[in-house]
Structure 1
């Protein structure tokens, strides 16, 4: 991986800003009541609000746990994981929707096309969150930095950073205790760019796909 630059760790400020979330409605997010505050103890902490995180949360509710016992943290400004970040025109999933989308029977949903659009998938995931009462259990713009088991309190100590304000750049530190932690961050959680000579000095428009 020596040929790639992790954008979160880039020395160049312009490259580092390629990881900013262009889709987040920061003023609206700032008005939300945070579902987590430092010192909280929760039953279940789920890291990631993509399909895996949402499905794990719903399965817990179906197993008889209360949505109030669940908290989800998500680095992005919204739900969807890869379907939140990838939005180029015409994007569709290359797996049949009847196989790819979970819980179609429970949701009473029939995909409108064989290969569902990215917009349709994201909308479906949002509807799942609403149906199972998880909307206010997700803390957006929040990054997990560390996880350590504490035997004295029989819980995981989760260290995280959460953002507010323009581009979520006003960061604060949180430490939350959780009895169970689900890591559902997917395969590609850290955006990268190739180490192309001169890339950092390029003065034209740049964006990360």
Structure 2
């Protein structure tokens, strides 16, 4: 990709992130859900890393280890809960990306944030969108990350690639977005946050 195209992608993302937008949640497709009043959500940050060093922009994602207690085998962004040592959710997302995939501390150029996303597990997750302009050696965190892969940004920005599926969760049928890519089943909160980005980037 030429420097001009890289700058065009970064500029388009900045403009999209500057647009107003509402928060999202795992309950968007389940309006009948009654949420507890006064619930306390734990802050978390995830990195949406857009690689600009190849022929076309791609988004880095991880496949969580099948041995994990929570969300085993699911597709996710690098990221996690905000620790006491993290000054904010952006710092949490960058720290987790360093730990989970080996992204150097200065390797990500943060462009902005999407509105926070509420999960069924009680987190308020802030997606931190960043561009990665240079290649780096990917080092999956042993025991937590089974695989690191990337998906063309163009695929994730096409609303036609998003479908709605459902399954029983705690005895209740829950609907959610999916955006499949090859052998990867991207669904739930990750797919919902990606769709929020696609909505922002729409002409």
Higher relative contact order (Cα pairs below 8 Å, separated by 6+ residues): 1
Give 1 or 2: higher strand fraction. 2
Give 1 or 2: higher helix fraction. 1
TM-score by length of 1: 0.25
TM-score by length of 2: 0.25
